[in-house]
Structure 1
Amino acid sequence: MKINWGTGVVLAFVGFIGFIMYFVINMSTNNKYDHDLVTEDYYKQELNLQDNINKEKNSKTLKQDIVYKKTDRGILLIFPENFDEKKITGKVFLYRPSNKQFDFETAISLSNHNLLIPETSLLGGRWNIIVDWNYNDTPYRFTKQIIY
């Protein structure tokens, strides 16, 4: 059987469209390629952007900002020691860019200016830590990207 050039062009188009459709279906149904939005309420967070910038400016005026250490028990956040730990309030949000199901938030509860995020809550990989905290009605914000 002899194939003319018109049939060859049609077969090439059909093959190319089949090839593209395979990848579209594979990427949309395979959980390995599941990508989430950075945040569900990004418009709301955009409105709070200036507040976050002001909080970060407040943090830069501190003599000592929050310091983090990776330990065998988890991530240890060390708050400034010149502050009264009983007056420090706020929350810690850990964001996992690769999977929003692992994101979690915890209230700040200090023990000797330290807050431990246990390793049982953390998987290996990249985490974004956001600490929104207040001291004497002054808001502060600490953000860090870490690999655990």
Structure 2
Amino acid sequence: MKISWGTAIVMAMISFIAFIMFFVITMSTDDKYSHDLVVEEYYKTELTFEDQLDKTRNATKLSENINLKKTPEGLLVTFPQELTASNISGNVFLYRPSNKQLDSEIPLSLSSHQLLVPERSLIGGRWNIIIDWKYQGEKFYFKEEIIY
């Protein structure tokens, strides 16, 4: 049986349409390809942006800022030595842009100037580390993107 060029073009178009439909259905239904918004309440978060800028300015007034260091045990967060560690309070947000199920929040209650985020909490890849903290009534904000 011989296939004419017109029949071949129609078969090619049908094959292409079937491939595109398969691709669209797979991307729509598979949880592996699910991508969420950066934050759930985007507009509410944007209203606090000026407050974050003020907190960031406060952090730049310190003689040293927060330092992040990768160690075999996990991520070591070091606060400025000039501050009394027991007076530091706040939260450490571990935000994974690619998977919101990996996001976590660690409350700050320090006995020394260092906080260790265990390695089991950080899967390899990009992380946004956000530290929103307070020292003697003054608020501070630190944000850094790392590849762990």
On whether the aligned pair clears a TM of 0.5, the verdict is yes
Deviates more, 1:49-58 or 1:29-38: 29-38
Gaps of 5+ in 1: none
Gaps of 5+ in 2: none
Distance verdict in 2 for CA 1:15–1:134, change over 3 Å: same
Corresponding residue of 1:23: 23
Deviates more, 1:61-70 or 1:28-37: 28-37
Corresponding residue of 2:77: 77
* 1:47-62 alignment runs, 5 A limit: 47-62=47-62
Question: Which SS does the other structure have where 2:109 is aligned?
Answer: coil
- Spell out, residue by residue over 1:24-75, the C-alpha distance to the aligned partner (whole angstroms, 9 max, x if none): 0111122332212111111110111111111111111111110011111111
Q: Distance in 1 between matches of 2:8 and 2:70?
A: 61
Quote the sequence identity (%). Answer: 52
Deviation of 1:99 after TM superposition, in Å, equals 0.6
Corresponding residue of 1:102: 102
Corresponding residue of 1:120: 120
1:91 alignment partner AA = N
Question: Which SS does the other structure have where 1:44 is aligned?
Answer: helix
Q: Distance in 1 between matches of 2:81 and 2:121?
A: 26
Deviation of 1:12 after TM superposition, in Å, equals 5.0
Q: Distance in 1 between matches of 2:48 and 2:117?
A: 26
Alignment partner of 1:87 is 2:87: yes
Deviation of 1:3 after TM superposition, in Å, equals 5.1
TM-score (norm 1): 0.89
Distance verdict in 2 for CA 1:83–1:13, change over 3 Å: same
* 1:39-50 alignment runs, 5 A limit: 39-50=39-50
C-alpha contact (below 8 Å) 2:86/2:112 kept by paired residues: no
Q: Distance in 2 between matches of 1:12 and 1:55?
A: 60
- Runs ≥4 residues deviating over 6 A: none
TM-score (norm 2): 0.89
Q: How many residues align?
A: 147
